[in-house]
């Protein structure tokens, strides 16, 4: 297969161009959001949030149709309701936050699957869950651009507040930065980006585009700014590779992108010069040998 | 720049009460805390030491009562007031360097948007030098020793331009030599007229090095010169509900 067949021919299709542009745009904002999720130890919470959007998206589709704004409104409602209900329950009952959030997101997710499978064909459900590259229309691309643009703009403007909110919230308060906007704003931004990534990634794997590049970058660098930039670059590279793979193999685009990003992550987890497994094993082995020598 | 006139400032607390939901963390604290020296906040776990520190910083909403320094609400005293967090509360794997953390000290003055000027950079450099951290400025913060980590947050507070330092359990997790080093450093600050108000659970350390103490058990048990405030009778009052823990009592 020539380079032309591999890369250029696929990109001559409008849907591939739109899918690729949308994935690259969302990689940029996703790297930022994923970095915050990881540093605040909210990776699993973010995953649960992504799943809980399904009933809102499905309802909006059934009632209004598949315009991005309707989907966004449905997803925002479902996400906010799940977050609020679980926050309320964990505050007022003995259930802790993870349990109440876990319970609500499962209910929401099951409700969403029931809605989609009752209303549409089975094929539609698979597209919802795993992404479908043919589904990226011009309006979806516009939404991706808006989501990415807004995210990058807010991060650039509020970076000091974001760093302190993660790193040292009490100092953030004394510096006069308010915390309330952070949580609400972050939730809205995350939902916005998840909905924008829906067509390409699907509900189940959408967070992979955010989380994996950020986790890979986190294993590789020691500065916040570098981490954000690296995560964005990794996301763009991995999603491009994943889309091309999906085009050639017929694999759904969501899993193809996540697997490409996963390859980078596993490489970093093994080989990162400072935080990789191989280095940790090497250090442990050297230590043991040193101990044995002393014992002799 | 830190001499003289600040020494006569006095924190005045009147009926300071803080509730978290239904739980009462501070109950009608009325006290005066003189500035210009080392002051310890002492009490059992859950006595409200950290809550009182945060109240003194001015952003924790009081359920009742008021706190003033001179005529001012603490909120209007920044950047004079600086907070030094408990080491356990910080995410040490955050991708950030020592120099960057110290530079955060300028953020309260600059806010979200204003850029660093030469004078800001100079303050950061000076704070790094004062706390002997200049050679470590580019290190990721996890790679510092416990004593160096504590000094990094003191440097951030110095870069802020503070003269009143609120420390939350600064000696927690420090080994003997790091503890001695930190005490030496704080005594130097005392001589310069800086004020250190620290939440500390180690009574022996307070007795030996902190001239002034407040003893808390949600309410104020005693305040004043340490020997008087931490009398046996007062300690019995503060710790009476607690199961004795090895080392918690002298």
Q: Does B59 touch chain A (CB under 8 A)?
A: yes
Task: List CB contacts of A261: < 8 A, sequence separation 6 or more.
Answer: A208, A209, A212, A213, A216, A234, A235, A238, A239, A242
Of the candidates A154, A175, A156, the one whose C-alpha atom is nearest the C-alpha of residue A165 is A175
Closest among B89, B186, B101, B167 to B139, alpha carbons compared: B101
Most confident of the ranges A102-106, A122-126, A226-230, A253-257: A226-230
- Assess contact for A268 and A276: CB atoms under 8 A: yes
Q: Measured between alpha carbons, how far is A250 from B61 in angstroms, rounded to an integer?
A: 58
Is B97 in Cβ contact with A223 (below 8 Å)?
Answer: yes
Region A63-69: mean pLDDT is: 80
Give the distance from residue A87's alpha carbon to the nearest chain B alpha carbon, in angstroms. Answer: 15
Alpha-carbon distances, residue A97 vs A37, A47, B76 (angstroms) = 16, 15, 36
Q: Which residues pair with B165 in a beta bridge?
A: B82, B196
How much is the average pLDDT of A116-132?
74
State pLDDT tens for residues A235-247.
999 999 999 999 9
Inter-chain CB proximity A170 and B54 less than 8 Å = yes
Q: Look up the CATH number of domain A3-295.
A: 1.10.3470.10
The distance of B227 to chain A (nearest Cα, Å) reads 32
Distance separating alpha carbons of residues B192 and B180, to the nearest angstrom: 19
**For residue A122, is pLDDT > 80?**
no
Q: What is the pLDDT of residue A240?
A: 93
d(CA B46, CA B67): 21
Phi then psi for B33, rounded to 5 degrees? -120, 115
Which candidate in B95, B102, B108, B152 is best for mutational testing of the A interface (most A CBs within 10 A)? B95
Q: Do B112 and A158 touch (CB under 8 A)?
A: yes
Q: What is the pLDDT of residue B245?
A: 54
Q: Residue A221: its chain B contacts at CB < 8 A? A: 95
Mean pLDDT, residues A48-76 taken together: 86
The per-residue pLDDT for range A159-187, each reduced to its tens digit, is 999 999 999 988 888 888 887 788 888 88
Cis peptide before B118 (omega within 30 of 0): no
A112 phi/psi in degrees, rounded to 5: -65, -45
Task: Test B112 with A218 for CB contact under 8 angstroms.
Answer: no
* d(C-alpha B249, C-alpha B206), whole Å: 12
B113: CB partners within 8 A, 6+ apart: A157
Where is A118: in which H helix or E strand?
A: helix A97-119
* Cβ contacts of B5 within 8 Å, gap of 6 or more: none
CB-CB under 8 Å, A163 with B104: yes
Between CA B95 and CA A236 the distance in angstroms is 22
How much is the pLDDT for A204?
82
Collect all residues of chain A within an 8 Å Cβ-Cβ radius of residue B95: 39, 218, 221-224, 226-227
Q: Which residue positions in chain B have pLDDT lower than 50?
A: 1-5, 7, 249-250
Q: Give the residue among B63, B34, B26, B5 at the shortest CA–CA distance from B220.
A: B26
Confidence of residue A72 (pLDDT cuts 50, 70, 90): confident
Residues 6+ apart with CB under 8 A from A238: A27, A212, A213, A257, A260, A261, A263, A264
CA distance A113 to chain B (A): 38
Contact criterion met (CB below 8 Å) for A206 and A216: no
ipTM: 0.85
Report the side by side order of strands in the sheet with B64-69. B23-34, B10-20, B64-69
CA Rg value for chain A: 21
Q: SS3 of B180, please?
A: helix
- Report, as an integer, the average pLDDT of A22-33: 93
Cα–Cα distance list, A107 to A49, A104, A115 (Å) = 12, 5, 12
Distance from CA of B138 to the nearest CA of A (A): 10
Confirm if A171 and B83 have CB atoms less than 8 A apart: yes
The pLDDT assigned to B134 comes to: 96
In chain A, residues with a C-beta closer than 8 Å to the C-beta of B116 are none
Whether residue B57 contacts residue B74, with contact meaning beta carbons closer than 8 Å, is answered with yes
Residues 6 or more apart whose Cβ sits within 8 Å of residue B162: B79, B80, B81, B82
Q: Which is more confident, A91 or A222?
A: A222
In angstroms, the CA A174 to CA A88 distance is: 27
Give the tens place of pLDDT for each residue, A252-295: 888 999 999 999 999 999 999 889 999 999 999 998 888 887 77
- What is the per-residue DSSP string for A154-214? HHHHHHHHHHHHHH-HHHHHHTT--SHHHHHHHHHHHHHHHHHHHHHH-TTTTTHHHHHHH
- Does A178 lie at the interface with B, CB-CB under 8 angstroms? no
């Amino acid at each position: 297969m020539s380079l032309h067949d591999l890369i250029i021919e696929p990109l001559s299709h409008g849907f591939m161009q739109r899918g690729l542009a949308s994935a690259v745009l969302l990689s940029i904002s996703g790297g930022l959001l994923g970095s915050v999720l990881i540093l605040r130890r909210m990776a699993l919470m973010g995953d649960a949030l992504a799943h809980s959007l399904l009933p809102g998206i499905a309802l909006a589709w059934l009632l209004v149709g598949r315009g991005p704004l309707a989907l966004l409104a449905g997803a925002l409602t479902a996400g906010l309701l799940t977050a609020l209900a679980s926050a309320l329950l964990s505050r007022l009952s003995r259930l802790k936050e993870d349990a109440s959030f876990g319970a609500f997101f499962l209910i929401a997710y099951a409700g969403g699957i029931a809605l989609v499978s009752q209303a549409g064909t089975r094929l539609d459900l698979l597209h919802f869950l795993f992404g479908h590259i043919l589904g990226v229309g011009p309006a979806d691309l516009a939404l991706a651009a808006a989501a990415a643009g807004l995210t990058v703009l807010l991060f650039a403007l509020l970076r000091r507040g974001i760093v302190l909110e993660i790193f040292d919230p009490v100092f953030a308060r004394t510096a006069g930065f308010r915390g309330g906007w952070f949580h609400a704003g972050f939730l809205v931004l995350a939902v916005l980006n998840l909905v924008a990534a829906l067509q390409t990634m699907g509900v189940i794997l959408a967070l992979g585009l955010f989380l994996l590049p950020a986790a890979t970058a986190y294993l590789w660098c020691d500065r916040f700014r570098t981490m954000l930039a690296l995560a964005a670059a990794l996301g763009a590279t991995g999603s491009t590779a994943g889309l091309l793979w999906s085009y050639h193999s017929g694999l759904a685009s969501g899993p193809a992108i996540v697997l490409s990003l996963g390859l980078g992550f596993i490489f970093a987890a093994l080989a990162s010069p400072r935080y990789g497994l191989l280095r940790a094993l090497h250090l442990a082995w050297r230590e043991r040998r040193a101990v044995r020598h002393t014992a002799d | 720049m830190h001499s003289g006139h600040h020494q006569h400032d006095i924190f005045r607390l009147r009926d300071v009460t803080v509730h978290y939901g239904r739980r009462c963390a501070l109950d009608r604290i009325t006290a005066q805390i003189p500035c210009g020296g080392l002051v310890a906040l002492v009490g059992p776990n859950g006595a409200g030491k950290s809550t009182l520190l945060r109240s003194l910083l001015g952003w924790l909403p009081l359920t009742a009562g008021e706190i003033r320094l001179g005529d001012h609400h603490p909120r209007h005293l920044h950047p004079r007031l600086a907070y030094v967090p408990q080491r356990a509360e910080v995410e040490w794997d955050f991708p950030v360097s020592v120099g960057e953390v110290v530079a955060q000290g300028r953020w309260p003055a600059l806010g979200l948007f204003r850029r660093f000027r030469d004078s800001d950079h100079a303050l950061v450099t000076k704070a790094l030098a004062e706390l002997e951290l200049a050679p470590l400025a580019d290190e990721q913060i996890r790679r510092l020793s416990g004593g160096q980590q504590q000094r990094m947050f003191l440097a951030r507070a110095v870069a802020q331009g503070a003269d009143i330092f609120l420390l939350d359990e600064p000696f927690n997790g420090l080994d003997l030599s790091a503890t001695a080093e930190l005490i030496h450093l704080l005594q130097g600050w005392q001589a310069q007229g800086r004020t250190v108000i620290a939440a500390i659970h180690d009574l022996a350390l307070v007795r030996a090095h902190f001239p002034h103490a407040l003893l808390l058990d949600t309410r104020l048990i005693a305040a004043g010169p340490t020997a008087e405030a931490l009398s046996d009778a007062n300690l019995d009052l503060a710790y009476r509900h607690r199961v004795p823990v090895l080392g918690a009592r002298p």
